[in-house]
A and B are shown apart, each in its own frame.
Chain A
């Protein structure tokens, strides 16, 4: 059974601080990793994708991947109230057309 684990939260972070979201996965063959943001009542929206070990930065967001530890993280710098949402970690095994395996999401609250 492929599993993706996230702390459900809520994670409360002051405005302007760094929010750190974490995710672990069970399938060592996984090859692509995604962070989606989901506002209440809306569909998942891609924030970051990462395919190789290390860091990937896009604006205020940094994704970090460590395949040896089977660990993915998302850092949000200068957190804004609009960042308050549920963040979903998703993992895709290599090859084929299997869908993504999702974690249950971390509920992030940015306190003004």
Chain B
């Protein structure tokens, strides 16, 4: 039982490049989330998915898109990366609100 997994662990992009961050969970959870964490800002919600086939914007969705591929997988896409998107990205999942969320190990993204 791996819990929540994320790939890649670390990525360097140039401004304007695109990439997809992958997240998968093996806990049969319904809800999945993407957060970003910046120094001094705490964790902020980017997008979430209440169930397979549904996605909704969080606090800071601009510049991102998401896909809930199936119950296990929830991806985050940066279409045209900007230096302001340099951050640590965490995926999380939970069975349903308001229960505990479990976090993946994170992806460190540097946009030059």
Asked whether A and B interact, the reply is: yes
Contacts of A95 in B (CB 8 A): 97-98
Asked if A100 and B96 sit within 8 Å, CB to CB, the answer is no
A-B residue pair count with CB separations less than 8 angstroms: 69
Contacts of B35 in A (CB 8 A): 99
Q: In the complex the two chains form, what is the Cα distance from A95 to B97 in whole Å? A: 6
Asked if A49 and B42 sit within 8 Å, CB to CB, the answer is no
Number of interface residues of A (CB under 8 A): 27
Answer whether A99 and B48 are a contact pair too, CB < 8 Å, given A34-B100, A44-B43. yes
Residue numbers of B with Cβ under 8 A of A are 30-31, 33, 35, 40-45, 48-51, 56, 58, 90, 92, 96-106
A-B contact list, 20 entries, CB within 8 Å = A34-B100, A43-B90, A44-B90, A44-B103, A46-B101, A88-B43, A94-B97, A95-B97, A95-B98, A97-B30, A97-B50, A97-B97, A98-B45, A99-B33, A99-B92, A100-B101, A102-B43, A104-B40, A104-B41, A104-B42
